Amino acid sequence: MADLQFKLTDEIWEDMVMLEGSPVTAIVVWDQSVVDEMLLQPVTDSTRIFVDIDLYLANQTKLELYGASVALDEASDPIVGLEAIGEALARYSRDGAFIDEIAAGEDEMLVLVLNNDRNNLLLIGASAWLEDAWDVLPDEAG
């Protein structure tokens, strides 16, 4: 298993850029985030901005994204609410989501630009992440 990453350095970007074009096979959105304890206000499902996300890619790579926010574009505020975040990610997944670009955001945080068959973009910014491999998809575990 890889180490937890907090900044997208040039070296890490060179490794991760190989994921560009990778189709998303499954997405798991957790109802809590590791950043919850650091927030000043209590978090409810309806006020949630940060989530932890597992992205299962077709090449057997799993990206675990921690303290992630989801936005429709660079000018938009993050999507608010656990249900709204989950629905946005599910909609992109159903329409053939893939990683279009690996980018750096504010303070060198990881930003994944997802695209889909309808040519819709979705940005996921992660406070921390790790890259791992998967053998079984979450809906097949049991």
> In this predicted model, what pLDDT tens digit does every residue of 63-94 receive, in sequence order?
999 999 999 988 899 999 999 999 999 888 88
> Is 3 within a domain?
no
**Radius of gyration of the CA atoms of the chain, in A:** 14
User: Which residues in the chain show pLDDT less than 70?
Assistant: 1-2, 140-142
Q: Which one, of 106, 40, 41, 43, lies nearest residue 71 by Cα?
A: 106
* Cα four-point dihedral sign 36, 41, 42, 43: negative
Cα dihedral: 84, 87, 128, 71 (round 10): -60
Instruction: Give the span between the Cα atoms of 15 and 100, in whole angstroms.
Output: 15
Residue 5, in any domain of the structure: no
pLDDT at 141: 52
16 lies in some domain? yes
| In a domain? residue 2 | no
Confirm whether 37 is domain-assigned.
Answer: yes
Residue 95 in domain: yes
Domain count, the chain: 1
Query: Is 4 within a domain?
Result: no
Which structural domain, as residue segments, surrounds residue 116?
A: 10-135
For 15, the token pair is 């490794």
